[in-house]
């Protein structure tokens, strides 16, 4: 073959490096490899650096430690002092063992409640002839959209009573019943409030799994003469199991790391969880000890994750079985239909609507404890500043700080949602394109890590890490940018998961069809990959938007006076004991979330379940 000149040209000898580069370098310069490396650097910054800081802080002297007497403190030097304090000193019981036991109790209770409520509702909605199923499933997700402490606030407002020297609550005011203190504060209310907040996870994941099972799988069991119970145990349960354990894991990880509810319902009764203990350590400059507790929390989540993996392992693929979700013949509830419908509706009204109404109502009560009409006032919404009320704070709609915080919260949620969504898509793209290679695996696993780090600790590490300039990044202390960065870091696990699953749904052919025609990478991504995965992107971004609007723990240490967000300002009012202002801001926040969600939904139909990784 070959005209001579061509042969001659291609036999030009290359240096070994040039050959190596042309062989390997092609891969190294492939767009997804380059993008993957960039993402890896970003993740190193957002995830690995914080982890290292976290561990290092626990084992070195910190500037604030200089006030400790009887110790030879050299800032920055290695020390086991903090670990000894936490694990083996007279402080251990109060700082570690009691909160740990409390945390485990609360988490266990929450997980049980979440699973029971979530699976019952999921089964009723997907498998029975329950009326108003669409309405019920919409209502059932509402508690997830509310800030986690809404139910806690409402709880106090219902059960607080004069016996415990508090203003009268709803119950006492209308019935005269005073409940014992353990029902107002402590583990029982915490478990209930968290269970009612987190059950939508289980509901969404399990109903997704239930409706994706091909009914033929179950029907073939039926044809073979298996009993209903046996079908449930041998066919349905194993298929739903992965969704169930994911829900358990999510509820567990979230409940051990959350801060608002245990602070509102636990602290008044001196019932500390690890999360509230961490807050108290961080608030008093004992970061090292707070971080040790954080490491213990992360270890717990990690063990949970390991157990989940052992239990599910490769069977995970069951979740997508059948896919078609062909029509099931629904279970007839028969004479139970009406009672069950009523119970479900009452339950949902009590957990999803009543707290809102009560909090709304409480925000227009001039004095706490008086639910009468004569006590109605818009003071806390639009009133002028007055010494008599709320320590002189004006109504929230006139309160410059509150309005500023609202604006900040909205921008943070929107910008954070979009950026986190984009990073998640990019991660999904590289993970899918490089499937089976180290880059794919390290990106996928790293992006999951923030899930394990409790929000409050995450915020605190970022505070330490980004307060000073390092590498090429200037000091971000007190800037809005820092809030965005921390949002991306913490919420990445959600968008990365929805990114991977939506990229997996686009067959490789579609991109290759463009490669063949010489379409450059950027154009391929923008014009083909992105439009085809847009829905996953929006679902992921929407979840981040909602979570960010109502997230407290992440920002509580980061928000400076110049950069408040709505939640951090709410907590300040809670601490000051200005109840009605708190309620008014909570309502303001919920309305904003609902409006934003509705706006996104109107613009683009989305599926929340795919956003929390249900697919």
Output 172 or 511, the one with its CB closest to another protein.
511
| Binding region for another protein (CB under 8 A) | 1-3, 6, 10, 14, 18-23, 26, 436, 507, 509-510, 512-519, 527-528, 531-532
Are the C-beta atoms of residues 218 and 70 closer than 8 Å to each other? no
Output the smallest distance, CB 421 to another protein, in A.
18
Are the C-beta atoms of residues 403 and 388 closer than 8 Å to each other? no
Neighbours of 442 (CB within 10 A): 17
Output 18 or 311, the one with its CB closest to another protein.
18
Are the C-beta atoms of residues 583 and 360 closer than 8 Å to each other? yes
Are the C-beta atoms of residues 468 and 272 closer than 8 Å to each other? no
Output the smallest distance, CB 527 to another protein, in A.
7
Output the smallest distance, CB 526 to another protein, in A.
12
Which pair of structure tokens corresponds to residue 153? Answer: 């606030």
Rounded Cα–Cα distance for residues 336 and 100 (Å): 42
Output the smallest distance, CB 530 to another protein, in A.
10
Are the C-beta atoms of residues 239 and 437 closer than 8 Å to each other? no
Rounded Cα–Cα distance for residues 108 and 90 (Å): 27
Which pair of structure tokens corresponds to residue 581? Answer: 């202002």
Output 176 or 518, the one with its CB closest to another protein.
518
R_g of the chain, CA atoms, integer Å: 27
Output the smallest distance, CB 258 to another protein, in A.
40
Which pair of structure tokens corresponds to residue 52? Answer: 């290292």
Handedness of CA 332, 334, 340, 345 (dihedral sign): positive
Output the smallest distance, CB 520 to another protein, in A.
9
Output 2 or 313, the one with its CB closest to another protein.
2
Please tell me whether residue 180 adopts helix, strand or coil conformation. coil
Output 323 or 474, the one with its CB closest to another protein.
323
Output 433 or 572, the one with its CB closest to another protein.
433
Are the C-beta atoms of residues 381 and 591 closer than 8 Å to each other? no
Q: How far is CA 314 from CA 242, 311, 443, 496, in A?
A: 10, 9, 20, 20
Output 384 or 509, the one with its CB closest to another protein.
509
Output 13 or 374, the one with its CB closest to another protein.
13
Please tell me whether residue 473 adopts helix, strand or coil conformation. strand
Output 20 or 97, the one with its CB closest to another protein.
20
Are the C-beta atoms of residues 110 and 255 closer than 8 Å to each other? yes
Which pair of structure tokens corresponds to residue 565? Answer: 């967000």
Q: How far is CA 404 from CA 42, 195, 392, 418, 570, in A?
A: 30, 32, 18, 21, 13
Output 246 or 502, the one with its CB closest to another protein.
502
Output 373 or 516, the one with its CB closest to another protein.
516
Bridge partners (DSSP) listed for residue 376: 365
Rounded Cα–Cα distance for residues 210 and 242 (Å): 11
Rounded Cα–Cα distance for residues 2 and 8 (Å): 10
Rounded Cα–Cα distance for residues 119 and 7 (Å): 70
DSSP letters spanning 303-315: HHHHHHHHHHGGG
> Length of the chain, please?
615
Output 65 or 511, the one with its CB closest to another protein.
511
Q: For the chain, how far is it from start to end, CA to CA, in angstroms?
A: 54
Are the C-beta atoms of residues 95 and 277 closer than 8 Å to each other? yes
Output the smallest distance, CB 21 to another protein, in A.
7
Output the smallest distance, CB 321 to another protein, in A.
22
Output 353 or 510, the one with its CB closest to another protein.
510
Element containing residue 224 per DSSP (H, E): none
Q: How far is CA 526 from CA 215, 422, 499, in A?
A: 38, 12, 15
């Amino acid at each position: 073959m070959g005209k001579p000149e061509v042969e001659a040209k291609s036999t030009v000898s290359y240096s070994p490096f040039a050959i190596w580069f042309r062989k390997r370098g092609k891969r190294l310069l492939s767009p997804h490899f380059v993008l993957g490396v960039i993402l890896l650097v970003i993740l190193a910054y957002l995830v690995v650096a914080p982890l290292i800081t976290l561990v290092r802080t626990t084992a070195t002297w910190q500037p604030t430690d200089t006030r400790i007497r009887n110790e030879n403190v050299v800032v920055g030097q290695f020390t086991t002092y903090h670990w000894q304090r936490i694990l083996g000193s007279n402080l251990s019981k109060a700082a570690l063992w009691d909160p740990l036991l409390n945390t485990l109790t609360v988490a266990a209770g929450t997980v049980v409640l979440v699973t029971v409520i979530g699976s019952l509702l999921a089964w009723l909605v997907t498998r029975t002839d329950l009326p108003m199923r669409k309405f019920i499933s919409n209502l059932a997700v509402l508690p997830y959209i509310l800030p986690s402490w809404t139910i806690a606030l409402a709880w106090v407002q219902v059960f607080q009573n004069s016996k415990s020297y508090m203003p009268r609550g709803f119950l006492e005011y209308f019935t005269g019943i005073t409940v014992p203190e353990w029902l107002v504060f402590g583990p029982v209310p915490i478990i209930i409030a968290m269970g009612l907040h987190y059950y939508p996870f289980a509901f969404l994941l399990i109903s997704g799994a239930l409706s994706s099972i091909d009914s033929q799988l179950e029907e073939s069991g039926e044809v073979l003469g298996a009993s209903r119970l046996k079908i449930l145990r041998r066919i349905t349960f194993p298929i739903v199991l992965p969704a169930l354990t994911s829900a358990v894991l999510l509820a567990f990880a979230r409940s051990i790391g959350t801060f608002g509810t245990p602070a509102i319902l636990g602290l008044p009764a001196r019932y500390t969880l690890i999360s509230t203990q961490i807050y108290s350590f961080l608030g008093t400059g004992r970061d090292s000890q707070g971080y040790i507790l954080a490491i213990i929390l992360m270890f717990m989540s990690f063990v949970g994750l390991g157990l989940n993996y052992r239990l599910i392992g490769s069977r995970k693929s069951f979740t997508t079985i059948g896919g078609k979700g062909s029509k099931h013949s629904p279970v007839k509830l028969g004479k139970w239909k009406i009672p069950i419908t009523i119970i479900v509706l009452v339950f949902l009204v009590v957990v999803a609507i009543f707290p809102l109404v009560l909090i709304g109502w409480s925000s227009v009560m001039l004095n706490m404890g008086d639910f009468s009409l004569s006590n109605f006032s818009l003071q806390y919404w639009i009133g002028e500043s007055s010494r008599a009320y709320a320590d002189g704070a004006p109504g929230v709609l006139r309160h410059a700080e509150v309005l500023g915080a609202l604006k900040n919260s909205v921008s943070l949620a929107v910008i954070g949602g979009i950026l986190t969504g984009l990073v998640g898509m990019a991660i999904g793209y590289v993970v899918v394109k490089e499937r089976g290679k180290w880059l794919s695996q390290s990106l996928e696993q790293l992006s999951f890590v923030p899930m394990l780090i409790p929000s409050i600790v995450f915020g605190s590490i970022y505070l330490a890490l980004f307060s000073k300039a390092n590498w090429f990044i200037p000091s971000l202390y007190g800037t809005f940018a820092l809030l965005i960065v921390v949002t991306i870091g913490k919420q990445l696990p959600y968008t990365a998961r929805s990114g991977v699953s939506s990229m997996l749904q686009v067959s490789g052919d579609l991109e290759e069809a463009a490669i063949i025609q010489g379409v450059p990478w950027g154009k391929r991504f923008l014009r083909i990959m992105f439009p085809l995965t847009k829905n996953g992107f929006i679902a992921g971004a929407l979840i981040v938007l909602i979570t960010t609007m109502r997230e407290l723990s992440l920002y509580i240490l980061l928000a400076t006076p110049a950069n408040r967000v709505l939640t951090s300002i709410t907590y300040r009012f809670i601490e000051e004991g200005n109840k009605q202002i708190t309620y008014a801001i909570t309502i303001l926040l919920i309305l904003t979330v609902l409006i934003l969600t509705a706006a996104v939904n109107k613009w683009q139909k989305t599926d929340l379940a795919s956003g929390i990784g249900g697919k």
